[in-house]
Amino acid sequence: MLVKLQNDFLEKIARDEPLHETVDFLCRQVEELIPDIACSVLMVDNDLALRHLAGPSIPCSYSDKIDGLLIGEGMGSCGTAAFRSEPVIVTDIETHPFWEPFKSLALPLGYLACWSTPIIVGKRVMGTFAFYYHRKRGPSELEQQIVATCVHLCAIGLERQKRENERYRLAYTDALTGLGNRARFNEVITHQGLLDKPWGLLLLDLDNLKIVNDSLGHQAGDDLIQEVGRRLKKLGQNDMVFRLGGDEFAMIVCGEDCVDLGYHAAYVMESLKTPCICAERTVYPSATLGGASALPGDKTGDVRQKADFALYEAKSRQRGGFLEYSPVTGTQIARRFRIMNQLRDGLQENGIVAVYQPVFDLKTSQLLGLEALCRMRLANGDLLAAAHFKDALRDAQLARDVTRRMLDLVLSDLSRWLCMGLNVGQVAVNIATGDFLDGCVHERILGLLQHHKIPPSHLVIEIIETVYQGHAHDLIRQQVMGLQEQGVKIALDDFGSGPTSLNHLLAMNFDIIKLDRSLLEHAGQETKAAFLAEELIKIARYLGAHVTAEGIERQEQADMLLRMGCDSGQGYYFSKPILADEIENMLWTWQSKQSGSYGTEMKSLQKP
């Protein structure tokens, strides 16, 4: 009898049938052998609470009431047996003190006695196996043999379940944060699309993990990830927070009638404002979020893709913010992706072209240098100005690839001109925020200079103001200083075009400051723009920087700037941007007009 019971149970285990069904089968077989008992099997969870596993004759009203009770002395027969790690026999529930809190539940069901035996795996109590009697009595010798066999079988089942749970945990849990990992996220979001209630997805990228890793060490980075994971878990719904890997997290949010992603995103960003201690250093967490709500007819893949698009766009616009996907943003993103693909094709097919605009001394009209401007050659041969693909360069990797190609083209041209005896002064190249984010832009630039055998003093790197307006300010400053130490000149481009801050003028020693063309629109008039231009020139000269004005189109603009103390200028009044061959011809013409004296009289863009 017991051999057959054991074999049937083990066969079900071998077939990998669900544990609750297998144990329920065991209880039914035992109840057929002993007609006047009700059999119950409870598990003990990691919080030391009792959880219903099987009990075919136990009413749900009873099992629901005891489910979740903590084990302990006096907590009925099962709670006490689990706490003591030894069997507990109560022959009279009505009078026994262990049952005082629970007899009102048991007696109306006809349960007059209870015998509970702990199920022990290794040294840990994993559950209890109990008989509820309809008479006031204890176990018989046969019942003791049956329970001994059943407890052993349940231990086998629970141990197997424990191993499976551990494998599942390792496969679906992020080891660092304890949150669900990417595999678990994919599993959940597949099911999420089948739910009737509204839901949405928030994706989150930490803004400063790389900086923390590079400056404070990877232990600090791990501490930051763990702290962010803890904060997000508190805000999430029913284990709906996941770490997808690296600095990326996801949160699935649900609602009864609708999902307000902005509301949830605001709470996330607010929770991250509080500083935390990472590797004994204070760190201020920050994140950028993108989100999308599931619309009628949307598949889970559609929602995921929309949230990805929104996060990508949010990171390219301004770190530390939130963007929810909409048809408008979708159109903008699609346009930018199209241009990004065009740029990538241009990089593969040598479609990136450098054109040059001369820079002149406003007082002597002598050529001081060139600014290299990026163009993309279209299939019809036309050149597309950088303004048309500016948004595409928000992608950090693409920006680095384009900058590298531009530097390679420019330094190659410069090397050829110098070998020909053409002194072009200094050539300026623009670089974007994305170039700085990996912390290696100075190494790349210096490596290219060395490769082309160009002295660093011939190169000017132009940076716009917004490069300094972010969390990577210190990282950028270090790279800029690394270039300056080797002789590369640094120019602050488009100065005065936006919410100008003087803080980075004080923090950085710029060699050149370039006034934005918007300050020249009303040349010769006493406008606010003209007043601002004059004051900015004074500030720049006080700081020891050379001042260049961009966008000069008329004589009166050049005259006004000269009176204000501006050093040099560029624009269509002097020359439009032209290709390298045209610049070369122009340089030969200018140099021949100088009767050989051009090279010695050429001024360099040095501080006054």
* DSSP for 147-185, written as a single string: HHHHHHHHHHHHHHHHHHHHHHHHHHB-TTT-SB-HHHH
User: Using 50, 70 and 90 to split pLDDT, how confident is the model at 599?
Assistant: very low
In a domain, 606, yes or no: no
CA-to-CA distance for 568 and 225, rounded, in angstroms?
A: 49
Q: Is 254 a member of any domain?
A: yes
Beta bridge partners of 130: 40, 116
Q: Which of 117-121, 400-404, 453-457 has the lowest mean pLDDT?
A: 400-404
Question: Tell me, what's the pLDDT at 468?
Answer: 64
143 and 241 share one domain? no
d(CA 416, CA 412): 6
pLDDT value for 524: 56
**In this structure, are 301 and 361 located in the same domain?**
no
Residue 589: count other Cβ atoms within 10 Å of its Cβ: 9
d(CA 546, CA 298): 57
| Average pLDDT of the residues of the chain | 86
- Residue 315 CA, chain-centre distance (Å), reads 9
Domain containing 580 — which CATH number? 3.20.20.450
Nearest partner of 54 among 76, 29, 79, judged by Cα? 29
List the CATH number of the domain containing 285.
Answer: 3.30.70.270
In the predicted model, what is the mean pLDDT of residues 388-404? 81
Query: What are the tens digits of pLDDT across the range 282-332?
Result: 888 889 999 999 887 788 888 998 999 899 888 877 778 899 988 777 777
9-36 confidence digits (pLDDT tens)? 888 888 888 899 999 999 999 999 998 8
Q: How confident is the model at residue 601 (pLDDT cuts 50, 70, 90)?
A: very low
| pLDDT band of 567, cuts 50, 70, 90 | very high
Q: Tell whether the model's pLDDT for residue 518 goes beyond 50.
A: yes
Residues 194, 197, 202, 203, Cα dihedral to 10°? -10
- The stretch 445-466 carries a mean pLDDT of 91
CA 286 to chain centre: 10
The residue among 295, 325, 355 that closes a domain is 325
pLDDT band at 452 (very low <50, low <70, confident <90, very high): very high
CATH of the domain at 140: 3.30.450.40
Closest by alpha carbon to 343, among 376, 391, 380, 388? Answer: 376
Split at pLDDT 50, 70, 90, the class of 59 is very high
Residue 360 lies in a domain: yes
- pLDDT number for residue 498: 62
Reply yes or no on whether the pLDDT at 471 is more than 60.
Answer: no
**469 band by pLDDT with thresholds 50, 70 and 90:** low
Place 377 in a pLDDT band, splitting at 50, 70 and 90.
Answer: confident
Residue 605, pLDDT score: 36
In a domain? residue 292: yes
Q: Given this model, what pLDDT does residue 383 score?
A: 83
Beta carbons of 456 and 446 less than 8 angstroms apart: yes
- pLDDT score for 67: 93
Same domain, yes or no, for 196 and 127? Answer: no
Radius of gyration from C-alpha coordinates of the chain:
37
**Which of 303, 325, 347 represents a domain boundary (last residue)?**
325
Whether 484 and 364 map to the same domain: the answer is yes
Q: Rounded distance, CA 254 to CA 237, Å?
A: 8
- What pLDDT sits at residue 503? 64
For residue 194, pLDDT over 80 is answered with no
- Segment among 86-95, 183-192, 425-434, 468-477 with least mean pLDDT: 468-477
Residues 194 and 151 both lie in one domain: no
pLDDT recorded at residue 472: 55
How much is the average pLDDT of 182-187? 91
Environment class of 69 (CB within 10 Å of its CB; exposed 0-12, middle 13-18, buried 19+): middle
Do 90 and 149 fall into the same domain? yes
Do 128 and 20 reside in the same domain of the chain? yes
Answer yes or no: are the C-beta atoms of 113 and 133 closer than 8 Å.
yes
Q: Indicate if 87 and 16 belong to the same structural domain.
A: yes
Note whether 12 and 105 are same-domain residues: yes
455 within some domain: yes
Provide CB contacts within 8 A for 516, sequence distance 6+.
Answer: 494, 495, 496, 497, 550, 551
Please state the pTM of the whole predicted model: 0.57
Sign of CA dihedral 324, 325, 331, 333: positive
pLDDT, residue 458, reads 95
Angstrom distance (rounded) from CA 565 to CA 554: 17
Q: From CA 85, how far away is CA 596, in angstroms rounded?
A: 102
Query: Residue 410 corresponds to which tokens in the numbers above?
Result: 């420019």
Q: Which residues contact 339 (CB under 8 A, 6 or more apart)?
A: 388, 389, 391, 392
Looking at the predicted structure, is the pLDDT value of residue 372 above 90? yes
Distance CA 504, CA 132 (A): 78
Please state whether beta strands 287-293 and 322-324 pair in parallel, antiparallel, or not at all (unpaired). Answer: parallel
**Sign of the alpha-carbon torsion through 166, 167, 170, 171:** negative
Please state, in angstroms and rounded to a whole number, the distance separating the CA atoms of residues 6 and 148: 11
* DSSP β-bridge partners for residue 292: 201
State whether residue 536 is helix, strand or coil.
helix
The answer to whether residue 330 sits within a structural domain is: no
Q: How many helices (H) and strands (E) does the chain have?
A: 21, 22
Residues 546 and 506 in one domain: yes
Half-sphere exposure of 491 (CA within 13 A, CB side): 28
Residue of higher predicted confidence among 503 and 49: 49
- Residue 218 sits in which domain range? 182-325
The pLDDT tens digits of the residues spanning 485-499 come to 999 999 998 887 765
pLDDT at 35: 86
Average pLDDT over residues 116-137: 94
Whole-number pLDDT of residue 208: 81
Share of the chain above pLDDT 70, in %: 92
Backbone angles phi, psi at 556, to 5 degrees: -65, -30
Q: How many domains does the chain have?
A: 3
What confidence tens digit (pLDDT) does each residue in 235-286 have?
887 789 999 999 999 999 987 767 889 889 999 999 998 898 998 888 888 8
Q: Is residue 585 part of a domain?
A: yes
**Is 163 in the same domain as 231?**
no
Last residue of a domain, one of 171, 203, 219: 171
DSSP state string for 459-506: EEEEEEGGGGSSTTHHHHHHHHHHHHHTT-EEEEEEETSSS--SHHHH
Strand-by-strand arrangement of the 248-254 sheet: 241-245, 248-254, 199-206, 287-293, 322-324
* 358 lies in the same domain as 476: yes
Sort strands 352-361 and 578-579 into parallel, antiparallel or unpaired: antiparallel
Label residue 231 by pLDDT band (50, 70, 90). very high
Residue 192 has pLDDT above 70, yes or no: no
User: Any idea how long the chain is?
Assistant: 608
Helix (H) or strand (E) holding 131: strand 124-133
Task: For residue 85, tell me if it sits in a domain.
Answer: yes
Q: Which residue has the tokens 């006031």?
A: 136
Q: Strands 459-464 and 489-495, how do they pair? A: parallel
